[in-house]
Amino acid sequence: MPWKTRRWETLSTERICSTPIFDLHRRKSAHPHRGERDFYVLSAPAWVNIIPLTPQGEVVLVRQYRHGISDFTLEIPGGMIDPDDPDPAQAARREMREECGYDSNIIIPLGQVHPNPAIQPNFCYSFYARDVLKVGEPDPNPGGSEETEVELVPLTDIKQMIATGKITHALVITAFSFFDIYNPPPAR
């Protein structure tokens, strides 16, 4: 006898750990066929990332150390939306200026995804910045622990860098997938 897929009902939520990056919650939920169970949810602010593209057709990437893998990654600028950011596009622009020192007045939304809907309720918003120009030096996470090294890469090299594992960050690959699907107008 096939079951119709049913929603779980949240009975209670308890925050069991709080960090500057996320809160861990234990959620007690009930299902009509599966009973009551505890689930764990990482609550974090929404995230953004942005593909900065120069007039010469180069993507501005940042190399930075990531503690989760204890190694360096090559990424596009991105991070959490701060409470004082007016909207995701402005948060992405701020991250771009902080992490790589580039800016643009042309910020184009590409799409949004749930980074990991099994355990996280937040979104990651992806953007494209056209005709970026260097306006200063990187100042990632002022007063914090981030350091970035800027690398300019021809846009035509990005697919190969993903295919060969030089770019492995899932949300960065998602942004480039959006970019490829929607094919925004090239830099002038």
Mean pLDDT for each consecutive 10-residue tract of the chain (188 residues)? 78 95 94 92 96 97 92 95 96 96 96 95 97 91 73 96 97 96 63
Decide: 122 and 45 in contact? Cβ < 8 Å. yes
Number of domains in the chain: 2
**Residue showing tokens 């953007």:** 127
4 phi and psi, to 5 degrees?
-80, 135
pTM exceeds 0.95:
no
Are 85 and 156 in a shared domain?
A: yes
- Of 19, 63, 81, give the one whose Cα is nearest residue 172: 63
Query: Is 105 domain-assigned?
Result: yes
* Alpha carbon distance 96, 91 (integer Å): 9
Decide: 94 and 104 in contact? Cβ < 8 Å. no
Are 32 and 73 in a shared domain?
A: no
Range of the domain at 20: 9-43
Are 25 and 55 in a shared domain?
A: no
pLDDT number for residue 95 = 95
pLDDT number for residue 142 = 58
pLDDT number for residue 2 = 63
pLDDT number for residue 155 = 96
Query: Is 188 domain-assigned?
Result: no
pLDDT number for residue 5 = 80
Are 63 and 131 in a shared domain?
A: yes
Are 66 and 127 in a shared domain?
A: yes
Are 21 and 51 in a shared domain?
A: no
Query: Is 2 domain-assigned?
Result: no
